[in-house]
């Protein structure tokens, strides 16, 4: 009887050890599977991040290429003047310009502020021309321009440094864009030539005085009268 009891006890002990070992192997197997799954998920996430980064980079690259292409493409209907024939002398007297709005010529020594400034009243040509000399794009409109287009263009100007906007009732087109020696009449705010003109001429190669200020110049008071702010370049 004693021998049989010892044999049974030894058998049970061996069985427990076997079960414990089996459980350990199963736990290790689960750990390996979890690590593999985690590695796979991490790899997928990393691949996704890399893929998204490549997508964003490609998209931005395509956008820049499109901007460059737009800047180099001819602008339909654009009028161009010989910059060498446009005067650049500072004068105190009033100036009569042959083009409305003017695209260059002699001008006042103070410029109109053109840091995305939107004027709801007419600005003096002699100050606006000085802004063009500094590389600004001047958006002008008259009563024929739809209110919605005026609002869209105002929003664009407000977020674009070296640009300004004002009404010019005597101009031939409802909406016109001018830079130094350049001008185009557009059909509306969504006309693709608007972005094309801005891309090419805001601080563009036509600028006679690149790097000159567009702030601390002339602004308008509530009555629409010019107020000097110290711009004297």
Specify the CATH number for the domain of residue 171. 3.40.30
Tell me, yes or no, whether 126 and 170 share the same domain. yes
Does 233 reside within a domain?
no
Domain end point (choices 29, 54, 72): 72
pLDDT of residue 1: 46
Digit-coded pLDDT (tens) for 146-155: 999 999 999 9
Tell me, yes or no, whether 52 and 108 share the same domain. no
SS3 79: strand
Phi first, then psi: what are they for 92, rounded to 5°? -95, -25
Digit-coded pLDDT (tens) for 115-144: 999 999 999 999 999 999 999 999 999 999
Tell me, yes or no, whether 84 and 101 share the same domain. yes
Which residue numbers in the chain have pLDDT < 50? 1-4, 231-233
Domain end point (choices 29, 44, 72): 72
For residue 6, give every residue at least 6 positions away whose Cβ sits within 8 Å of its Cβ, in sequence order, or none. none
Q: Residue 64: which of 199, 193, 158, 163 has the closest Cα? A: 199
Report the number of distinct structural domains present in the chain: 2
Instruction: Report the b/e string of 173-192 with b at 16+ CB within 10 A.
Output: bbbbbbbbbbbbbbeebebe
Domain end point (choices 72, 96, 130): 72
pLDDT of residue 2: 45
pLDDT of residue 233: 46
Does 168 reside within a domain?
yes
Tell me, yes or no, whether 40 and 94 share the same domain. no
d(CA 171, CA 118): 18
Give the domain range for residue 123: 79-228
SS3 139: strand
pLDDT of residue 64: 72
Tell me, yes or no, whether 3 and 93 share the same domain. no
Tell me, yes or no, whether 194 and 131 share the same domain. yes
- Give the global pTM: 0.73
């Amino acid at each position: 009887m004693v021998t049989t009891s010892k044999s049974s006890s030894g058998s049970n002990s061996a069985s427990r050890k076997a079960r414990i070992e089996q459980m350990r192997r199963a736990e290790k197997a689960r750990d390996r599977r979890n690590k593999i799954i985690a590695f796979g998920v991490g790899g997928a996430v990393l691949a996704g991040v890399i893929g998204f980064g490549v997508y964003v980079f490609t998209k931005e690259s395509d956008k820049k290429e499109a901007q460059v292409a737009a800047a180099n493409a001819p602008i339909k209907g654009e009028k161009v003047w010989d910059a060498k024939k446009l005067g650049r002398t500072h004068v105190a007297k009033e100036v009569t310009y042959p083009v409305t709005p003017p695209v260059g010529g002699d001008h006042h020594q103070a410029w109109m502020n053109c840091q995305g400034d939107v004027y709801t009243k007419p600005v003096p040509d002699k100050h606006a021309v000085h802004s063009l000399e500094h590389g600004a794009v001047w958006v002008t409109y008259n009563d024929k321009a739809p209110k919605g287009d005026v609002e869209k263009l105002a929003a664009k100007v407000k977020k674009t440094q070296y640009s300004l906007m004002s009404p010019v009732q005597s101009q031939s087109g409802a909406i016109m864009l001018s830079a130094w020696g350049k001008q185009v009449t557009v059909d509306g705010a969504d006309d693709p030539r608007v972005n094309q003109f801005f891309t090419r001429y805001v601080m563009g190669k036509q600028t006679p005085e690149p790097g000159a200020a567009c702030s601390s110049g002339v602004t308008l008071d509530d009555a629409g009268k010019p107020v000097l702010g110290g711009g004297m370049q």
